[in-house]
Amino acid sequence: MTMRNERNYHQRLQEFCDCFMETDPKEELQKARQGVSGDPSGDLDELALKFLGLGIFYGASEKAKKISIQRSKNGKVSFTVDIKGKYQLPPPSPELADRIISIGRSITHIDEDKGKEPVSFGLRNDRINLTFQFDRKKTGESFYIVFPKL
């Protein structure tokens, strides 16, 4: 009898954050962006979860207001962190951005073009309450992670 892996995206995302708590998230985001996932299988889900987890960890550690991944219909991707001003970080590939957005939607069960949902996120012995927001238009799609005011 084989055991099925019952860990969901939300749980796996928290595990990635926990795993990278002692690293430099900005440096790890650069590696993840380049596809250096540390996952020998090359699983796109694992890489997307890693990138998303590192983005959340980076945003939380820098006291960001929000982070956003925006993908236009023509494939242009931007990755922005709103701290005290907006900063562009190297974006993921269009394929990876699509998977990140899809995983975010899966966690929140939002299928509509626009929507937002609170997501409680555990970080070691603490937790942070985030809001996942989505906005899909004819010109592209945006995924925002809004952090609580600290």
Structural domains of the chain in order of their starting residue, each with its CATH number: 9-146 (3.30.450.90)
What was the pLDDT predicted at 3? 38
Q: Which of 77, 67, 131 is nearest to 99 (CA)?
A: 77
Q: How far apart are CA 70 and CA 100, in angstroms?
A: 11
> For 31, which DSSP code?
H
- Percentage, residues of the chain above pLDDT 90: 41
Token representation of residue 47:
């890489």
pLDDT digits (tens, 9 = 90+) for 57-89: 888 888 899 999 999 999 999 999 898 877 777
Confidence at 112, pLDDT banded by 50, 70, 90:
very high
Q: Please compute the mean of the pLDDT values over residues 99-124 and round it to a whole number.
A: 91
Model pTM? Answer: 0.81
Angle at 22 between CA 13 and CA 6, to 5 degrees: 25
pLDDT digits (tens, 9 = 90+) for 49-64: 888 888 888 888 888 9
Of residues 22 and 140, more confidence is placed in 140
Angle at 15 between CA 11 and CA 17, to 5 degrees: 120
Nearest in space to 136 (alpha carbons), one of 72, 45, 65: 72
Residue 38 predicted with pLDDT over 90: no
**Structure tokens, 112:** 């509509």
